[in-house]
């Protein structure tokens, strides 16, 4: 049997990064008008960047290959080597980006614990290093919206505005890792510009819920994007005929944002079903978008064991921590997939209880 056939029979809840492009996206790639983007001559890239900047209410935008590169390019464009960067203690930038903040950007990350991924302005203010000879200069505050490890939780416009006031007080730049910012906007039923308004610059991913095969976009004012373009080139991100990446991104911004609500509905269905299973625990207050965290410690097994047993039953989930499993809904996961997953998990839990 072909590998592709096996994958088709799997219910893949590992991440929204496993989404496949639509047929329209694939056709757009084939027909994309191309040029050399390093010379700013790729018309498809130019169009995507113009769309992205307008959609976020910012002056300019820059296409990059990945979310990790977008974050690294952005922090390097907002700081100088040796600076201190305040960020949430379980943020993606701190946990999952290979230490690039330190190893490449030469920055000191200063993690601050938030509440469900949201930083408290008072804690941020307390974390700003005094200006004297002993301390690195604090220049940047980073937030994540939605917050991955917190369970897809949202930072609201009011919360961002409160952090903005602290940043202004101390002359700091406020940056947002908005990999799933459209999930937040759809869940809140607001224009995404309301979430972008109070940050200096941000990035968002095309390759998660928006279903593109690759790519992220950085947005901000023109001076910031000019710096970011040079850093992108330094990091090897001059992609030449990048219109093949931009073409599905254009379709994503035009047609794929509103459908994220389906993912949120399916995540809530999954979470509420799991919460009813004896031995499992789901904090439903965290299920605000398309991520579900389920604590399996009540079954007497760890997360990896639970994940392996699910895989044997053709359901894929991902590791969050020793006792917590993460499941993510996305395009390609339908209501019936959620219902089937719940039936499979209920059966698995019954088997485990018999063996206990």
Residue 13, domain CATH? 3.90.1150.10
Nearest to 202 by CA among 97, 99, 55, 43: 55
Containing domain of residue 120, as a range? 32-254
Q: Would you tell me how many other CB atoms lie within 10 Å of the CB of residue 198? A: 20
> In this structure, is residue 319 part of a structural domain?
yes
Whether 135 and 10 map to the same domain: the answer is no
Residues constituting the chain: 356
Task: Give mean pLDDT, residues 46-60.
Answer: 98
> In this structure, is residue 45 part of a structural domain?
yes
> In this structure, is residue 147 part of a structural domain?
yes
Number of compact structural domains in the chain: 2
The Cα 288–Cα 227 span in angstroms is 35
The Cα 141–Cα 129 span in angstroms is 12
Q: Confidence band (pLDDT; 50, 70, 90) for 356? A: low
Whether 337 and 208 map to the same domain: the answer is no
For 65-97, give the DSSP string: S-HHHHHHHHHHHH--TT-EEEEETT-HHHHSS
Whether 127 and 204 map to the same domain: the answer is yes
> In this structure, is residue 53 part of a structural domain?
yes
Percent of the chain with pLDDT over 70: 97
Nearest to 91 by CA among 70, 69, 112, 107: 112
| Domain end position, chosen among 254, 289, 322 | 254
The predicted-structure confidence for 139-193, as pLDDT tens digits, reads as follows: 999 999 999 999 999 999 999 999 999 999 999 999 999 999 999 999 999 999 9
Whether 283 and 141 map to the same domain: the answer is no
CATH value at residue 213: 3.40.640.10
Whether 98 and 224 map to the same domain: the answer is yes
Whether 298 and 222 map to the same domain: the answer is no
> In this structure, is residue 159 part of a structural domain?
yes
Task: Give mean pLDDT, residues 37-51.
Answer: 98
| Domain end position, chosen among 254, 277, 312 | 254
> In this structure, is residue 25 part of a structural domain?
no
């Amino acid at each position: 049997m072909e590998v592709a056939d096996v994958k088709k029979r799997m219910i893949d809840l590992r991440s929204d990064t496993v989404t496949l492009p639509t047929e329209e996206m694939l056709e757009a790639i084939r027909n994309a008008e191309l040029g050399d983007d390093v010379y700013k001559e790729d018309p498809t890239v130019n169009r995507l960047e113009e769309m992205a900047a307008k959609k976020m209410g910012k002056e300019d935008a820059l296409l990059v290959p990945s979310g990790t590169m977008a974050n690294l390019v952005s922090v390097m464009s907002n700081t100088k080597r040796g600076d201190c960067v305040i960020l949430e203690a379980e943020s993606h930038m701190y946990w999952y980006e290979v230490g690039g903040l330190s190893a490449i950007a030469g920055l000191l990350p200063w993690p601050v614990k938030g509440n469900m991924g949201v930083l408290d302005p008072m804690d941020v203010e307390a974390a700003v290093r005094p200006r004297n000879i002993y301390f690195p200069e604090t220049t940047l505050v980073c937030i994540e919206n939605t917050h991955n490890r917190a369970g897809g939780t949202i930072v609201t416009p009011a919360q961002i505005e409160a952090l903005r006031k602290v940043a202004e007080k101390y002359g700091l730049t406020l940056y947002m890792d908005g990999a799933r910012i459209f999930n937040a906007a759809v869940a809140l039923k607001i224009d995404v510009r309301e979430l972008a308004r109070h940050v200096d610059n941000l990035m968002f991913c095309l390759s998660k819920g928006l279903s593109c095969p690759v790519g992220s976009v950085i947005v901000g004012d023109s001076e910031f994007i000019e710096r970011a373009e040079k850093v992108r080139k330094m990091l090897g991100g001059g992609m030449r005929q990048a219109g093949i990446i931009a073409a599905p991104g254009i379709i994503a911004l035009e047609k794929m944002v509103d459908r994220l609500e389906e993912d949120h509905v399916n995540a809530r269905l999954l979470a509420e079903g799991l919460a009813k299973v004896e031995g499992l625990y789901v904090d439903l207050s965290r299920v605000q978008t398309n991520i579900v965290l389920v604590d399996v410690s009540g079954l007497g097994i760890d997360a990896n064991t639970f994940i392996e047993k699910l895989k044997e039953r053709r359901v894929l989930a991902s590791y969050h921590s020793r006792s917590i499993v993460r499941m993510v809904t996305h395009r390609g996961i339908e209501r019936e997939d959620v219902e089937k997953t719940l039936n499979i998990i209920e059966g698995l839990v019954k088997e485990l209880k018999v063996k206990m």
